[in-house]
Amino acid sequence: MKNFQPNFSHIYIEESAKNYPLSKLAIEKFSKSTIIEINHYKDVFNRPNQDFQIQKSSMKLILAKKTAPFLYPASEMVQEFGSPNVFYNTPILNCLYNCDYCFLQGMYNSGNMVVFVNENDFMGEITEKMKSLDIIKNPMIVAISYNTDIMAMENILPLASRWIDFARNQKHLVIEIRTKSALFSLIEKLTPSKEIILSWTLSPDIISSKFESTSPPFKRRLSSAKNAVEKGWQVRLCFDPVILFEGWFEIYTAFFKEVFREIDPKKIRDVTVGVFRMNKDFYKRIKKREPSSELFYQDYEIKDGVVSLEKKVRINSLKKVKNVLNKYLSEDKISVWM
Amino acid sequence: MQCIISALKSESQPIIDSFGLKRNNSFPFPVYQNQNISQLIVGVGKKNVEQRISSFFDYYKSKNMYFINIGIAGGGKANSKIGELYLINKIIDKQTKKHFFPDILANSTIDEHSITTVNQSVSNGAGSYTTLVDMEASAIYQACMKRVATHQISFLKIVSDYMDEDMFALNKRMIQSLVMNKIEVIRTYIEKQNNIQKSKKSILTNEDEDWINSTKILLNLSETQFYKVNSLFKGYRLKNSSKKFEKNIFDKPKSKKERNQLFKKICEKLSA
């Protein structure tokens, strides 16, 4: 007997969000869900004293209309190869997956998901911002899947494909869609575009099954990424976080070998690498709730508001990773968060 | 522990009888209990709610406490049925206009409804109310949410009347009968909530905690050292679910230096 209601058993909807096509689509998709009217998404999402992890066992969907700001300067923890015009936005708050190391569990009070249905306002803000930036030299880069996994939602709400359609019609705009999903098949019929980077986060099986248990397994993600590369998409591979444990180097070396046996390294745009790191306030908030992942009970150092491995350990291990990656990729294609 | 909150003795009597609860006279207000379930009576309206829940909670101080408000409510003819039990998914406080949303996590087939909490009873028909109507829910939610997580508060309401003149005919026996007729549904719901509570286990066993506490005393660990041992022990337990950590075999250190060396050794072993 199942103890929990299924995901999206309840849809909370703002009055102002009701008439948007995305709301109608969501309600149609989850026709058996209980619909509860709300004044503002924060009345549900920002309630104090919610248990993020227990809510993840029965996530609810909140449909809302976002008000400005629609665009934020990128966090320093996002690697973007030194480009100055980097931003992120939040078409969705929270993620369908629940990886152990994810900062979202420290960022949000709630395990539920908010979908902002006024996507045109997000897009309009980008075109407006582009007017004020020097984008000829440095195109504007927008990460649209920073606080979520937008591609993982594609079979529920086709947001990724709508963003792809938007981006391909802009000059000097690149959008990055970071994902762990295996749903590339849902967008594979779209014509590939240079303006869209599809970024797959990949981890060895042992890491993926232990710390990313709600995401598709490594091989399915790899297969999606491979498919995207073969169809001519700009693909970035994110080996982030690299998790250190006894025998990690051998496992990661074999893992890279497998990845680049499947995907021609010459055909990928670039890779990013980093170890586990987190804003210290998020980390503390998560730890206070006694998470059931061993990642939160290791020795870390806190520097400049970021919790991570001791600098020496971090640099040594990332150098080793970089050396292995250099066998497959040129220096300019590897970005490392040191 | 599960704590059922009701306004009236007649609402709680079927629960007291069905679960075999006994009066606990430690409280200056009616509390009935067995080992797992408590029934707390708060009276009609908001006025006693905060104080009684606060006294009860402070007595046990258990973050695992789960509150369920069970009681009768008025309903509208168009959208509710007398005698039917509803799980509340939205509470509107008529006075403050605030809205509250209890988490609905437990898998259940109970129909859901929203409820408006009013200060004065309504007897002139449901009128503009499309929700159920009661006099305590918003106060109970606010009192409980200060003390436990949002998923540890639920509301089950049985429609007793359509808020018209018939409501004056309601008597104790009728109210008891309304609750009694739904007692099995209530029992099943409580069990499901209990299973959800059980799904959240603490990482350390009692034995682990004893080890940490005795080490703290023996080595005279500082608060920072104690915090670190506690944290690393959780990591150890998650990696080794059933493996016992070695017994405390060290002697009481003779100096701070010796204590710090032992502390370092323990940390290394726990992180290995």
Contacts of A55 in chain B (CB under 8 A): 103, 105, 151
Residue B148 touches chain A, beta carbons under 8 Å: yes
Q: What's the pTM?
A: 0.94
Q: Work out the pLDDT band at A260, boundaries 50, 70, 90.
A: very high
Tell me if B195 and A3 make a contact (CB, 8 A cut-off): yes
Structure-block tokens of residue A284? 């503390």
Q: What is the pLDDT of residue A79?
A: 56
Residue B149 touches chain A, beta carbons under 8 Å: yes
Residue A44 touches chain B, beta carbons under 8 Å: yes
Q: Shortest Cα distance from A257 to chain B (angstroms)?
A: 28
Amino acid letter, A250: E
* Residue A25, Ramachandran bin (φ over 0: left; ψ between -120 and 50: alpha; else beta): alpha
Residue whose C-alpha is closest to residue B33's, from B55, B68, B65, B3: B3
Contacts of B146 in chain A (CB under 8 A): 49
Phi first, then psi: give them for residue B205, nearest 5 degrees: -85, 170
Q: Shortest Cα distance from A112 to chain B (angstroms)?
A: 10
Q: Give the closest of B101, B195, B199 to A47, CB-based.
A: B101
| Alpha-carbon gap, residue B81 to B95, rounded angstroms | 26
Contacts of A292 in chain B (CB under 8 A): 203, 238
Contacts of B192 in chain A (CB under 8 A): 3
Task: Please name the residues in contact with B200: beta carbons below 8 A apart, sequence gap of 6 or more.
Answer: A51, A53, A54
Handedness of CA A282, A288, A291, A295 (dihedral sign): positive
8 Å CB contact between A270 and A330? no
Structure-block tokens of residue B197? 């509570």
Tell me if B107 and A5 make a contact (CB, 8 A cut-off): yes
Question: How many A/B residue pairs have CB atoms within 8 Å?
Answer: 93
Q: Give the closest of B99, B199, B233 to A3, CB-based.
A: B199
Q: Give the closest of A34, A51, A296 to B149, CB-based.
A: A51
Identify the residue among A33, A49, A100, A109 best suited for mutation to test binding to B, counting B beta carbons within 10 A and taking the highest: A49
Q: What is the pLDDT of residue A136?
A: 83
Strand ranges for A15-67 from DSSP E: 34-38, 61-64
- A320-332: b or e for each residue (b if 16 or more CB lie within 10 Å)? ebbeebeebbeee
Q: What is the pLDDT of residue A2?
A: 84
For the purposes of burial, counting CB atoms within 10 Å of the CB of A234, is it exposed (0-12), middle (13-18) or buried (19 or more)? buried
Q: Shortest Cα distance from B25 to chain A (angstroms)?
A: 31
Cα A234–Cα A239–Cα A241 angle in degrees, nearest 5:
135
| Alpha-carbon gap, residue A314 to A248, rounded angstroms | 13
What is the mean pLDDT of the segment spanning A297-307? 93
For the purposes of burial, counting CB atoms within 10 Å of the CB of B255, is it exposed (0-12), middle (13-18) or buried (19 or more)? exposed
Amino acid letter, A193: S
Q: Give the closest of B150, B203, B267 to A47, CB-based.
A: B150
Residue B115 touches chain A, beta carbons under 8 Å: no
Which residues of chain B register pLDDT less than 70?
A: 126, 248-249
Helices (H), chain B: 9-19, 49-60, 137-145, 172-180, 183-198, 206-219, 223-239, 256-271
Residue whose C-alpha is closest to residue A9's, from A47, A61, A53: A61
Tell me if B101 and A12 make a contact (CB, 8 A cut-off): yes
| Alpha-carbon gap, residue B233 to B266, rounded angstroms | 10
- Beta strands at A140-143 and A173-179: parallel, antiparallel or unpaired: parallel
Tell me if A54 and B104 make a contact (CB, 8 A cut-off): no
Q: What is the pLDDT of residue B127?
A: 75
Residue whose C-alpha is closest to residue B208's, from B271, B250, B270: B270
Residue B1 touches chain A, beta carbons under 8 Å: no
Q: Is the pLDDT score of A78 beyond 70? A: no
Tell me if A4 and B239 make a contact (CB, 8 A cut-off): no
pLDDT digits (tens, 9 = 90+) for A112-164: 999 999 999 999 999 999 999 888 888 999 999 989 999 999 999 999 999 99
Tell me if B105 and A50 make a contact (CB, 8 A cut-off): no
- Beta strands at A277-279 and A306-308: parallel, antiparallel or unpaired: antiparallel
Residue A319 touches chain B, beta carbons under 8 Å: no
Residue whose C-alpha is closest to residue B178's, from B7, B14, B8, B9: B14
Q: What is the pLDDT of residue A80?
A: 59
Q: Is the pLDDT score of A275 beyond 90? A: yes
Q: How far, CA to CA in Å, does A192 sit from each of A44, A88, A146, A262?
A: 38, 22, 21, 20
Identify the residue among B103, B209, B230, B264 best suited for mutation to test binding to A, counting A beta carbons within 10 A and taking the highest: B103
Tell me if B151 and A54 make a contact (CB, 8 A cut-off): yes
Structure-block tokens of residue B163? 């808020």
pLDDT digits (tens, 9 = 90+) for B177-217: 999 999 999 999 999 999 998 887 889 998 999 999 999 99
pLDDT digits (tens, 9 = 90+) for B119-133: 988 888 767 799 999
Q: Give the closest of A12, A55, A298 to B151, CB-based.
A: A55
Tell me if B103 and A50 make a contact (CB, 8 A cut-off): yes
8 Å CB contact between B270 and B228? no
8 Å CB contact between B83 and B183? no
Tell me if B101 and A293 make a contact (CB, 8 A cut-off): no
Q: Is the pLDDT score of A1 beyond 80? A: no
Percent of chain A with pLDDT over 70: 97
8 Å CB contact between A94 and A36? no
H-run or E-run covering A124 = helix A119-131
